[in-house]
Amino acid sequence: MRGSMLYTLSYITIVIMATGADLSAQNVSSSLHVNKDHNEVDSLPRDTLTGISITKDSVEAEPRAESIVDAPNNDTNNTKSGEITSLSDNAVKVDTIATKTELAEEAKLTLPIPPGTFHDTKFTYVDDDEVLAMIDSLISELYEVNSCLDTGAARRNTYEFCDDLIPLYSKTEYATRLDYLDQQTPFSLTYNTPVHKFIELYALRRRGQVSRMLGLAETYFPLFEEMLDKYDMPLELKYLAIVESALNPSAGSRAGAKGLWQFMYRTGKIYGLNVTSYIDDRFDPYKSTVAACEYLQFLHGIYDNWDLALAAYNCGPGRVNRAIRRSGGKKDYWELWRYLPRETRGYVPAFIAVNYIMEYATEHNIYPTPPRYLDFEKDTVVVRNMVKFEYIEAVINVPKEELEYLNPQYKLGIIPGIPGETYTLTLPTLSVGAFMNNEQAIYGYKTEQERIDSAEKAIAMEKQKQYMQETRLTHTVKNGEVLGLIAQKYRVNVSDVRSWNNMSSSRIYIGQKLTIYTANKPSMAVQPVVAKSTTKKQEIKDLKFRYHVIRSGDTLWDIAKLYEGVTINQIKELNQINNARKLKPGMKIKISPASS
């Protein structure tokens, strides 16, 4: 519910004011019949329901506690996943995790799941309190009775137009109607040629879009009007969201603007609209509306003119300032009009035309298309843990598609639930009670694939743990050893040795105890690389060689070509040559062993 409807319901009395009757909470059960078998409420006729008030009472409503219970193993095979069965006065929704044996067989794993990791569970689906659910229903009915939305063309068609008739009016009539609207707003609702073109666009060629926007206005305008009133701004600014996004909260432009109010990334950041891999607050109707009010208020503070504030909202204050300079310092929008960017030249005329068509839609034989949700048909709850939309769908049966429609800010259908952060979830009003009663069940829910993945991970960790216990060795560092030689000895990686022993570097000391996990037997033939090099050098020293005296212009490639079977690398190796440029004429170098 809205903030004004959030009353403490610990001690309540429902007072239903009807024609000639006052009903208290103590006799509401006799006046409003509740059919427990079918959960149906026979409410009062709409024409007699005029209001609802909630007052304190001396009787405390007994709350129902939600519970998550473990089901006996012998009942598991008799109940299907997701089945609703009877348990006392509540319904139990069974969502059974597969047994350890079944899960292991399905995942084709040989090891059992570690004890205590999983167990067969059933969560209890807790029905909403009947009295509280009835209050929610009555309040929704009160809102519906007083809703301005009437989609019946027969009732709204006071001019008795034919269904396919498109009325046309003279320019004088358009000017008269806009003059009437202009007297009620600080905006300059001028009628001229650019404005006339946009009126015809909406009234003739975009009639279907206008019909949809008339319906969506009942979803979003109450929020817009509440925020504009809070910031003491003209209520006509609500029509700006139509110009920006046609009231589509998921709208995005080619330039990168997003949401109902089409915020660019940088501007959104300035006004607190966070963007992460999971969340884009520019799509959040509430947060983006607050940001739009603050930004428009800032722009109006610069120019003290709402028309220029609208222009700056579209193209940025920098371009509006350039237009003011080019015009010689003029600050009237229509005097600056030809100096503004092309898109902005049509922005304010479109805003004026939207003001007109939304107020005079009936005169043009256009009527609202019912939206998916009216404003009072949705409500928000605070989410404290990470949750996926599919979990909510599985537990309280709100379709994932509806959750995505109501919560476009969650890009991947996941509410991250980061500690210290506050996340809100919008739900159908009549599903809020189900969410709150079954919140812990939703947080603990896992899909079948996630259970299998968790089981595989747990089994792999157990297998690794057993493997490491069986192959754990302790190595005592000796004189002359380095970490690389020790890792080579046991055929493991240096990084693993450091990780196993919580080492921040490769530095070791004599007598240090190192824990090694390996299934390989230690190699006893590891020899220092230096020793191998020394042996080879000694063998070469005992041989006799053929020599070549370097002449001016010689290169190693030229020298190698002079002797059959001799390569450049062989010459370098025999003569320990690292840099061929250091060879000078007259130097004597080895070519090959004399025996070859």
DSSP run (H or E) holding 551: none
Annotate 211-230 with three-state secondary structure. Answer: HHHHHHHHHHHHHHHHHHHH
Q: How far apart are CA 395 and CA 145, in angstroms?
A: 31
More confident position, 18 or 553: 553
Architecture of domain 529-593: Roll (3.10)
Does the pLDDT of residue 40 top 50, yes or no? no
Cα–Cα distances (Å) from 38 to 34, 63, 131, 268, 510, in that order, read 9, 21, 15, 48, 80
Of 133-137, 295-299, 580-584, which one has max mean pLDDT? Answer: 295-299
Query: Out of 11-25, 158-172, 235-249, which region has the weakest mean confidence (pLDDT)?
Result: 11-25
Catalytically active residues are 244
Q: pLDDT band at residue 528, thresholds of 50, 70 and 90?
A: very low
Does the pLDDT of residue 128 top 50, yes or no? yes
Q: What's residue 576's pLDDT?
A: 82
Q: How far apart are CA 132 and CA 149, in angstroms?
A: 27
Domain ranges of the chain: 3-64+141-145, 71-123, 153-364, 375-449, 471-517, 529-593
Q: Which residues, 6 or more positions from 478, have their beta carbon under 8 angstroms from its beta carbon?
A: 510
DSSP letter for each residue of 287-321? HHHHHHHHHHHHHHHHHS-HHHHHHHHHH-HHHHH
Q: What's residue 240's pLDDT?
A: 97
Q: pLDDT band at residue 148, thresholds of 50, 70 and 90?
A: low
More confident position, 526 or 378: 378
The stretch 295-318 carries a mean pLDDT of: 95
Which residue do the tokens 């998550």 mark?
68
- Which CATH number, 3.10.105.10, 1.10.530.10, 3.10.620.30, 1.10.287.130, labels domain 153-364? 1.10.530.10
Note whether 471-517 and 529-593 share their fold: yes
Does the pLDDT of residue 117 top 90, yes or no? no
Residue 553 falls in which region: left (phi positive, over 0), alpha (psi -120 to 50) or beta: left
Q: How far apart are CA 41 and CA 512, in angstroms?
A: 78
Class of domain 471-517: alpha beta
Q: How far apart are CA 268 and CA 360, in angstroms?
A: 33
Distance of CA 595 to the CA centre of its chain: 78
DSSP assignment letter at 89: T
Hey, what are 289's tokens? 């509306």
pLDDT in tens, 445-479: 876 666 677 777 777 777 766 666 667 788 999 88
User: What type of residue sits at position 131?
Assistant: V
The stretch 575-588 carries a mean pLDDT of: 82
Return phi, psi of residue 14, to 5°. Answer: -90, 125
Angle of CA points 331, 332, 334, to nearest 5°: 135
pLDDT in tens, 366-403: 999 999 999 889 999 999 889 999 999 988 999 999 99
Q: How far apart are CA 456 and CA 111, in angstroms?
A: 10
The stretch 87-115 carries a mean pLDDT of: 41
Q: What's residue 560's pLDDT?
A: 84
Q: pLDDT band at residue 27, thresholds of 50, 70 and 90?
A: very low
DSSP letter for each residue of 260-271? TTTB-HHHHHHT
Q: pLDDT band at residue 108, thresholds of 50, 70 and 90?
A: very low
Q: What's residue 104's pLDDT?
A: 42
